[in-house]
């Protein structure tokens, strides 16, 4: 039952509302490749990218963000609409929150995000790891991160994943 709740909370990250910074204890950021100029990201300011990732992840996982805006913060958001709608309807989402513990920008288009999932203010998943991607001029929650969270429920694979 506890695993089911944790999995549900991960999936229902749509209610995640809090965000903080700081390195995870004992965590070392992945090595950074040389900076290159990519057509989708002309320059890379790692500090600015990390700040945008934190802001956009918080918005995506906030219960107060309208669905249409959430899709702007999710890679392939339009294709993931049905999955986001389905899991946003669960009443337990209002009990969930998240705390970002580290953002490690690995390239002009990718970052690793360490975070915790909280349920009613208590840590339910202490060491979650996801990815952010730079798409269409915006840092977004990767579809693989979102689909991975959804897969923890053991239910059918949602449309878009």
* pLDDT tens profile 51-81: 999 999 888 888 788 888 999 999 999 999 9
Strand ranges inside the chain, DSSP E? 96-107, 110-119, 122-135, 138-141
Q: Are 39 and 136 in contact (CB under 8 A)?
A: no
Token readout for 5 is 């709740």
Domain 2-22+43-151, CATH number (from 3.30.160, 1.20.140, 1.10.10, 3.10.450): 3.10.450
C-alpha 125/C-alpha 116 separation (Å) is 6
Q: Where are the domains of the chain?
A: 2-22+43-151
Place of tokens 């909280």: 118
For the chain, which residues score pLDDT lower than 50? Answer: 1-39, 41
Going by the DSSP 8-state scheme, the letter that residue 38 receives in this structure is: B
DSSP string, 125-151: EEEEEEEEEEETTEEEE-HHHHHHHHH
- Is the alpha carbon torsion for 36, 42, 44, 49 positive or negative? negative
Instruction: Check residue 71 and give its pLDDT.
Output: 95
Three-state SS at 85 = helix
Considering the entire predicted model, what is its pTM?
0.71
């Amino acid at each position: 039952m506890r695993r089911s709740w944790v999995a549900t909370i991960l999936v229902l990250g749509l209610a995640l509302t809090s965000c903080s910074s700081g390195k995870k204890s004992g965590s070392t950021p992945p090595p950074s490749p040389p900076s290159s100029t990519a057509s989708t990201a002309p320059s890379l300011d790692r500090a600015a990218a990390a700040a945008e990732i934190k802001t956009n992840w918080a918005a995506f996982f906030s219960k107060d963000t309208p669905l249409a805006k959430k899709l702007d913060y999710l890679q392939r958001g339009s294709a993931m609409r049905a999955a986001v709608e389905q899991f946003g309807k669960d009443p337990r989402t209002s009990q969930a929150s998240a705390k970002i513990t580290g953002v490690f920008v690995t390239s002009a288009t990718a970052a690793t995000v360490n975070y915790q999932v909280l349920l009613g203010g208590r840590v339910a998943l202490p060491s979650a790891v996801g990815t952010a991607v730079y798409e269409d001029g915006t840092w977004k929650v990767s579809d693989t991160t979102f689909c991975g969270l959804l897969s923890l429920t053991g239910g059918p694979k949602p449309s878009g994943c």
